Amino acid sequence: MTVYAKDDDRRLIPRWHWLQSEPARLEQHFGGDQGAGEPDPALAALLEESLVDWVAQKGDVVAGEICSAAILSGRLELARDAAIALKAGSPIESGIYHVAAEVLGQATKGESLGAEGIRVVIGRLRALLRDGARDPIRWTDLSRAFAIIGKLKSAKRAMLVATDLASESRAIVRAASRLLIHVDEADRAHDVLMRSRRIVVDPWVMAAEIAVTNLMGRPSEYAKNARKVIKSGRYGDRDLAELRVALGSQEIWFGNAKLGKRLLRDALVAPTENAIAQVAWFMRREYLALGVFDGDSLGSAEADAWAKRQRKEWADCLLACDRWWSIEPFSSRPSELASYIASTVSGDPDRCVEYARRGLIANPESVVLWNNLAVGYAERGLVRQAVECWRRASALDREDAFRVTLQATRGLIAFREGRYAEGRKLYEDAVALARKEGKLEVMATLHLLREEQRCGGAPTSLLAVAREATKSPDVVVATMATRLLSAEELTRSPGGE
């Protein structure tokens, strides 16, 4: 049985982009942060020289240099011809193929760069750092690349160099805080932000500090100063968007909900993608009503993924998860949601496996992703791989937080091995445990029904649960129940198999 991390909590933790990408440039432009977001002279020179070489000799080596430099500098349009040639002549499993696909905007379904493609980028950054070892932007981008492929110790080392070199860079201290949150070091993330002199004047850094402090379960002491900054008239709406959302979130959780809601509305005058995602979260939790709110049109893939899920637009939901993952490739959440939807609603174990494996690159200790990968393999008939993944998930679930899910997945594996009585007993134990814990009982029952249908029979008691589940407010549960009942109707109708 697949599962995903529930949408029960969200904080405005900073996004972390390549520092020369368009989103990072927009963030830095408004505050005048020196360094971050400005063109890297060495990268610009490499790109220009490679483009000249490309005219003279269109080889794969030159094309690779053009594509990797274009990604890091955010100038993808200059690398299009090289990327087309490189992608056409490279095997799909190669890193350079994925680099070319990224340039062409064809990196979908988990294809975006990929582990091998990121290693190409790491090689390029290391080469640049040999001649410019004191460049904090390159060190920060190197840290991000390491984080994407799950090399977290290397990511932390690179980020430490970056913060030592540029402790007053807004972009770098926010990126450092995001990395430290990713490795569950919230206290250190807070320390990085507090050590910057920007904490008392920069709305972007203040927003990050409020979010991190709230994540640790307490209100920020900078709330009063944040209100003064918002009222000062010194900053534009874009500069203030994340501060308004961070402060508004804190007010809702710890203080004046009416003021908090007003701040969230004000943030939508000129919002960032992350601000939109946070406001959309409050709307899903019914803290806030803003009428029609289209996260996609406003530019937030995360908000759009959840909106498409609620509207039962499953294919579009998966596409939005792809875009969300391209923004946060080190986050487990887009891959958790996508693998869950692919298995539970779409009935596509191949994509379930693809999404789960993608997420595990940066999150090798995710119980959810190892479990979902086990389910995908089992549904594909790859039982040995399913057992291995289930064991990994079970070993990581040290506090038994996912015991219902893992018990149900054991049942699935037993069914797919042909041990039907054992599988049925494991599922029934999972349902009983879910009933005791007050969660996942209906979902576990529906998965048992699906396996019983595969075996040629569906007990009346399970069908009764499915009929009731069609009324569930959880759209995934309701959709799965409806489809199982439709399949049952088809098999019982004249001419049905």
d(CA 50, CA 124): 13
CA torsion angle for 368, 151, 209, 307 (degrees, to 10)?
-40
Q: Considering the entire predicted model, what is its pTM?
A: 0.82
pLDDT in tens, the chain (497 residues): 988 877 778 899 999 988 766 666 556 544 444 333 445 565 577 678 888 888 887 776 677 778 766 765 667 788 888 888 877 765 544 455 656 777 777 654 333 556 677 887 888 788 878 866 777 777 888 999 999 999 999 999 999 998 988 787 888 899 999 999 999 999 999 999 999 888 888 999 999 999 999 999 999 998 999 999 999 888 889 899 999 999 999 999 987 888 999 999 999 888 989 999 999 998 887 666 665 455 444 678 899 999 899 899 999 999 999 989 988 888 999 999 999 999 999 989 999 999 999 999 989 999 999 999 999 999 999 999 999 999 999 999 988 889 999 999 999 999 999 999 999 999 999 999 999 888 889 999 999 999 998 888 788 898 899 999 999 999 999 999 999 888 876 566 554 44
DSSP-derived letter for residue 474 is S
The token duo for 444 is 């576990």
The vertex-281 CA angle with 279 and 286, nearest 5°, equals 95
Contact 95, 120 (CB under 8 A): yes
- Cβ atoms within 10 Å, residue 274: 25
DSSP-derived letter for residue 89 is T
